[in-house]
């Protein structure tokens, strides 16, 4: 039997500390594989432990198959948890570790048939008589998974089970977890900070930041239409290019997005999404471009919807199957403060302007605060007196482009680029997406 899990306005805080989880609402369908994704400390494991009954819920409701379950004991929830640190008993063999919960549930029953069946499923029959100290990290994690599977639980709760393993073994066990959960059809909640794991494993991905749910959806949907700058920058390799831009929409000319020394000219007739950018006239925005949204090609080879840029080669990364080229386009990168931090930075104080903020401005700022604070706040252009210092360790250039491995480029070479405006993201000063329109949904059939 698999289980439906629902969280309704769930919150959790600890004494003298900030709220770890805030008003989280999430519905997990029976048999679904849901991934909780976010930076370390954002509340992912706390959510998992509240579902398991290892943490009390301060406010809100947990429903299991539609029944109120806040006060249920962990044993009554019929869930199996797989931890990051394996949590095996060192004095027991693998057989005894896998069979231990079975002996607790049914003291008089013989656990060997289920242990043997689980070992065959995982391919660890030859490890059953070994102790944890005689196993590698990957073998110990398989035994830990076997202990969870042997119980035939209604849900699997996995707390970063692969983070202690090397990259090759992580990829192998990732495929194994996907196969096993699909065959068993058991509801699975998987916690990770690795966006590659989240995108490859999950039926849906829920992105958390500061204990607040930022976005939940199919991996392709979250990648194609991130709700804000944080989601856009957290998901995707290499990280999305984020540039500071200024919208210019003269009544007697073409609309452009200035990137400093260059600009993106929006083709006419304007699309609906680009028409909506008129309300940003004169305002600074954040322009987001995935590395695949820009290609190296002569400007004369532009396809419909592509506009030209020019870049100076700063750095070339050969990856074997592809090459990542870092260009200097004269743009100003939009640095998202505290991007990897679990809790968002407080909204910085703004300089007083001559005009008093309007009602809509106050409502917008209040809405941003309710979403765990703004993702990023850009200074008004008039308030900017000096360029911000680039963060330490930042790679050279302001635009990363993915291209074929056979390309030959040298440092300092001037290269023509074409930007596909169909893959242009525009975010407002607080980091919320305004283009494509937030009401638009991706076509997953494309």
Where are the chain's structural domains?
A: 5-224, 232-346+366-383+395-435
Per-residue pLDDT at 335: 78
Average pLDDT over residues 57-63: 95
Bridge partner list, 216: 206
Does the pLDDT at position 132 exceed 70?
A: yes
Unique residue bearing structure tokens 């008129």: 278
What pTM was computed for the model?
0.83
Q: And the tokens for 389?
A: 């210092």
Other Cβ atoms less than 10 A from the Cβ of 103: the count is: 13
- CATH class, range 5-224: alpha beta
| Residue 269, preceding peptide bond in cis (omega within 30° of 0) | yes
Do 368 and 374 meet the contact criterion of CB atoms below 8 Å apart?
yes
Domains 5-224 and 232-346+366-383+395-435 share a fold: no
Give the residue with greater pLDDT, 352 vs 435: 435
State the pLDDT at residue 372.
Answer: 52
In this predicted structure, what is the pLDDT of residue 378? 53
Phi, psi of 382, rounded to the nearest 5 degrees: -70, -20
Asked whether residue 392 carries a pLDDT value surpassing 70, the answer given is no
Q: Tokens 């990280």: give the residue.
A: 239
Please give the share of the chain, as a percent, with pLDDT higher than 70.
85
- Name the one residue in this structure whose structure tokens are 């639980």: 153
Q: Looking at residue 389, what is its pLDDT?
A: 45
Q: Is 27 helix (H, G, I), strand (E, B) or coil?
A: strand
Distance of CA 172 to the CA centre of its chain: 21
- pLDDT at res. 303: 93
pLDDT digits (tens, 9 = 90+) for 164-184: 777 778 888 888 888 888 888
Q: Answer yes or no: is pLDDT of 297 > 50.
A: yes
Nearest to 162 by CA among 179, 149, 177: 177
- Cα 70 → chain centroid: 28
Q: What contacts 420, CB < 8 A, 6 or more positions away?
A: 293, 294, 295, 303, 305, 306
d(CA 352, CA 366): 18
Residue 35: pLDDT over 60: yes
pLDDT at 395: 59
Give me the percent of the chain exceeding a pLDDT of 90: 52
Beta strands in 160-240 (DSSP E): 187-192, 204-209, 212-217
Residue 381 has pLDDT above 60, yes or no: no
Say yes or no to pLDDT of 240 above 80.
yes
The total number of residues written for the chain in this structure: 446
| Residue 364: its H or E element | helix 359-370
Task: Write out pLDDT tens, residues 416-439.
Answer: 999 999 899 999 988 899 989 876
The class that CATH gives domain 232-346+366-383+395-435 is mainly beta
């Amino acid at each position: 039997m698999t289980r439906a899990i629902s969280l309704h306005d769930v919150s959790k805080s600890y004494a003298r500390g900030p709220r770890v989880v805030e008003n989280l609402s999430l519905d997990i369908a029976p048999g679904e594989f849901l991934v909780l994704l976010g930076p370390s400390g954002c509340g992912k494991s706390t959510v998992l432990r509240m579902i398991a009954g290892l943490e009390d819920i301060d406010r809100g409701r947990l429903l299991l198959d539609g029944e109120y379950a806040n006060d249920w004991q962990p044993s009554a929830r019929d869930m199996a948890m797989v931890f990051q640190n394996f949590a095996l008993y060192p004095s027991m063999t693998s057989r005894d570790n896998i069979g231990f919960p079975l002996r607790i549930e049914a003291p008089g029953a013989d656990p060997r048939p289920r242990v043997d069946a689980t070992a065959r499923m995982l391919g660890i029959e030859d490890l059953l008589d070994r102790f944890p100290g005689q196993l590698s990290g990957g073998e110990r994690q398989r035994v830990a998974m076997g202990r969870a599977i042997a119980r035939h639980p209604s849900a699997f709760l996995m707390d970063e089970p692969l983070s202690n393993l090397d990259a090759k073994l992580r990829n192998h066990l990732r495929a194994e977890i996907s196969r096993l959960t699909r065959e068993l059809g058991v509801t699975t909640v998987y916690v990770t900070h690795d966006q590659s794991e989240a995108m490859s494993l999950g039926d849906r991905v829920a992105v958390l930041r500061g204990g607040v749910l930022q976005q939940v959806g199919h991996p392709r949907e979250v990648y194609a239409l991130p709700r804000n700058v944080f989601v856009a920058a957290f998901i995707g390799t290499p990280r999305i290019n984020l540039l500071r831009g200024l919208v210019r929409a003269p009544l007697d000319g073409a609309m452009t997005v200035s990137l400093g020394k260059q600009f993106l000219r929006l083709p006419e007739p304007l699309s609906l999404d680009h028409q909506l950018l008129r309300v940003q006239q004169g305002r600074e925005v954040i322009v987001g471009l995935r590395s695949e949204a820009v290609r190296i090609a002569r400007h004369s080879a532009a396809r419909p919807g592509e506009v030209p840029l020019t870049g100076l080669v700063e750095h070339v990364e050969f990856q074997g199957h592809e090459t990542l080229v870092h260009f200097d386009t004269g743009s100003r990168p939009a640095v998202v403060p505290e991007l990897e931090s679990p809790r968002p930075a407080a909204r910085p104080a703004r300089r007083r302007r001559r005009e008093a903020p309007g009602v809509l401005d106050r409502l917008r700022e209040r809405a941003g605060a309710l979403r765990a604070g703004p993702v990023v706040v850009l200074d008004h252009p008039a308030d900017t007196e000096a360029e911000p210092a680039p963060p330490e360790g930042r790679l050279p250039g302001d635009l990363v482009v993915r291209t074929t491995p056979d390309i030959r480029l040298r440092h300092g070479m001037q290269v023509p680029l074409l930007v596909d405006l169909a893959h242009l993201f525009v975010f407002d000063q607080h980091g919320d997406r305004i283009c494509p329109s937030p009401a638009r949904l991706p076509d997953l059939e494309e």
